[in-house]
Amino acid sequence: MGAVRVVLTYADYVALPNDGKRYEIHDGELSVTPAPGRTHQRLVLELASLLNTHVKARGVGEVYVAPFDVILDTTTIVQPDVVCIARDCLDRVSERGVDGAPTLAVEIISPSTVQIDRGTKLQLYARHRVPYYWIVDSVARTAEAYALRLDAYELSARVGGDEVFRAEPFPDLEIRLASL
């Protein structure tokens, strides 16, 4: 007889310990990664600050940083490093997090999250109709932007080194990778 697969839900998620690890549930399966390191957190702060300044100045939504739950459904709860919610979707935001797809999810790649961010989360975000997904790699010094086209992501921008990153949903925002 085969093993029985236990499907975890949001109720199981909220019962997890607050021990400094990052817990997520991907399609009912627990994902645990270590707390992010200094470089990762510095990059999250810089990028979130740039995005927040841009979003607030234009009154186009709100920006949040992890740990902040994005509840894509009862068996998929994630914590993108940075998340942006467009003004017309702010009714999805509550004290517990975002119920449904944010406008933009941003992941800063860490050595322990490369496969999750480039594989699992790329697929999850597309399936749950997150319109835009950015991946920033501090080691390779690259930034990639993906836009949802039909049911899959299409790479819409990829820059590296000292180049300027411009991507939807904020094409008028210029992010100099070297400054991060």
Classify residue 5: in a domain, yes or no: no
In this predicted structure, what is the pLDDT of residue 174?
93
Q: Is the pLDDT of residue 97 over 90?
A: yes
In this predicted structure, what is the pLDDT of residue 36?
87
Model confidence over 119-176: pLDDT tens digits? 999 999 999 999 999 999 988 889 999 999 988 999 999 999 889 999 999 999 999 8
Q: Is the pLDDT of residue 3 over 80?
A: no
Classify residue 9: in a domain, yes or no: no
**Residue the block writes with tokens 């993108």:** 80
Q: Which of 145, 148, 146 is nearest to 129 (CA)?
A: 148
Higher pLDDT, 35 or 45: 45
What's the pLDDT band for 1 if we cut at 50, 70, 90? low
Classify residue 41: in a domain, yes or no: yes
Return the CATH number at 59.
Answer: 3.90.1570.10
Q: Is the pLDDT of residue 5 over 80?
A: no
Classify residue 152: in a domain, yes or no: yes
Classify residue 31: in a domain, yes or no: no
Classify residue 23: in a domain, yes or no: no
Count of structural domains within the chain: 1
Classify residue 88: in a domain, yes or no: yes
Neighbours of 2 (CB within 10 A): 4
The amino acid occupying position 131 is: P
Average pLDDT over residues 20-34: 92
Classify residue 18: in a domain, yes or no: no
Model confidence over 37-68: pLDDT tens digits? 899 999 999 999 999 999 999 999 999 999 99
Structural domain boundaries, residue 41: 36-179
State the pTM of this model.
Answer: 0.94
Residues in the chain: 180
